[in-house]
Amino acid sequence: MQSPAWIGYGEAMNQKTEPTSKHNARTRKQLQKELEQAQDYEQWLAAATALDDLDGKLAWREQAETGMLHESLMRQHMASMQQCRANTDTRRLIRVLQESLYRHLGELSNPELYSVARSGTNRLVQEFLSEVETSMEFICSHPIPEVSTARKLEMFRDAERVYGRPALMLSGGAAFGIYHLGVARALWRQNLLPDVIAGSSMGAVVAAAICTRNNQEVTEFFEHPEHIHLQAFRWLGIRDGLREGHAMDPRQLQEHLLANLGSVSFKEAHDHSGRTLNISVSPTRTQQKPRLLNWLSSPEVLVDSAVMASCAVPGIFPPVTLQARDASGGPNSSVPYMPTERWIDGSVHGDLPLMRMARLHNVNKTIVSQANPHVVPFITHHDESGLKAWAKQAAVSLAHGQLATALKLTRQSPTPGLIRPLIEQAHAMASQQYLGDINIHFPLRPSLYRKVLANPSTEDLDMFIQLGEQATWPRLAMIKDQTRISRAFDRCIRGLEKVLEKESA
């Protein structure tokens, strides 16, 4: 009996499909290897784009409808912006911009938009942001009836304050925190490094190294990491450690900080770099509050002393008395700042001082680089999707809540004076937030934990920096899009300031 024709067709198709599947598998394996071994963002993006093409994700990026955006309203607002520019109607363009940003900012901030394709999100996001950016520049460069340049500059500054600005926040992490250098360098090379940077513990060292340098010096710093002083740790012997009450020599850490940062106040650092440095320190007294030190709240405090305090992990380094610039002395003189208070590791009470950053600097978008060894194992699921990731997130959230509640109850119970500060610190560490709006985290590699409290070799330095860059590249599309309007505000304000300066001259 003769077989039906479709059976023969199916066998032929299977024979054709099998080599194609094998070819795709080989291609995928090669592209995945290129992705993992990329030496710069351009190489990584080329491999990511090819993988997206292989998976059909590039087609999703071109889709007219995604289900994640109010596409029809966004296109309507884009058309209105174009019409206003064509008619040179700046007043109406301002109203359209205000309405469209208010309506769409929430959906544009949805991280799910960046979870589909590796190389970026749907084309409509870029088109909408381009229209907004073009319209802002149009308003900046075209006259508004009865509005002077000075008034227009004031309007842009007010709008920027309402909109907010991004900030980079660097966690603690001991030697793991060197990875923050790679994160910051990846952002710097794409012109995406925020001007507002916060750091705790080792994150404070990296933040201060960036914010005490001007642009030319930062470029030199990132391009030549071999010049970085690496010897921060010197273990005391058992006898000395027991006598002093801490395991490491603070003089070695001080030498490390002075070699990499110099001795400048927060205000001097801001005036020199144009960046706003923020360093978290935690109190030793239970009645004292944690502080976020910067040029606004503590302009005369010396940066190296603030970093020294932020690195003072209990039991590893002793508490620190902050130092401030002595106005009556020479340029290198200093006096104790709040001399009756001593401060410890900023990560204890404020690894990521999100609320204080929002209040002080109007931060609306936090880019968090998280490298704390005790945090990383519990946040890797944020990069994953599916039932397994959901179950892990639920388990971690439940355990975190139970621990925080238990420590809160212990904290409220009568406890001996020597134990109470330890409970306070444990409760603060268990109850604080360790993630922000856009998160870049140290990869979970158990073999590296032996290096946490060791001075890095030059090979370790390169390795940690590369890990930071590789972790940042997949986030660059989101960071670029979600900080684009803030960067447009900066350009418009600088442009208007130059115009006003010329008019005044």
Q: Is 431 a catalytic residue?
A: no
Give the total residue count for the chain: 505
> Alpha carbon 179 to chain centroid distance?
12
Q: Is 201 a catalytic residue?
A: yes
For the record, the structure tokens of 464 come out as 């940690």
Q: Which of 80, 135, 201, 305 is catalytic?
A: 201
* C-alpha to C-alpha distance for 298 and 411, rounded to whole angstroms: 31
For the record, the structure tokens of 35 come out as 């992705």
Residue 190 φ then ψ, to 5°: -105, 15
- Which DSSP letter does residue 119 get? S
Tell me if 477 sits within 8 A of 114, measured CB to CB.
Answer: yes
Reported in sequence order, the residue ranges of 109-260 that DSSP labels E, i.e. its strands, are: 165-170, 196-199
Contacts of 286 (CB under 8 A, 6+ apart): 420, 421, 424
Q: Which of 80, 282, 334, 345 is catalytic?
A: 345
How open is the CA angle 330-335-340, to the nearest 5 degrees? 175
Reported for 252-257, long-range contacts at CB under 8 A and 24+ positions apart, including other chains, are 253/308, 253/311, 253/317, 254/304, 254/308, 255/229, 255/231, 256/229, 256/230, 256/231, 256/232, 257/205, 257/208, 257/304, 257/307, 257/308
> Alpha carbon 261 to chain centroid distance?
21
> Alpha carbon 201 to chain centroid distance?
15
For 185-213, the DSSP string reads HHHHHTT---SEEEE-THHHHHHHHHHTS
Contacts of 49 (CB under 8 A, 6+ apart): 58, 118, 119
- Enumerate the β-bridge partners of residue 282: 344
The kind and range of the H/E element at 384 are none
Closest CA to 255 of 288, 230, 281: 230
Give the active site residues.
201, 345
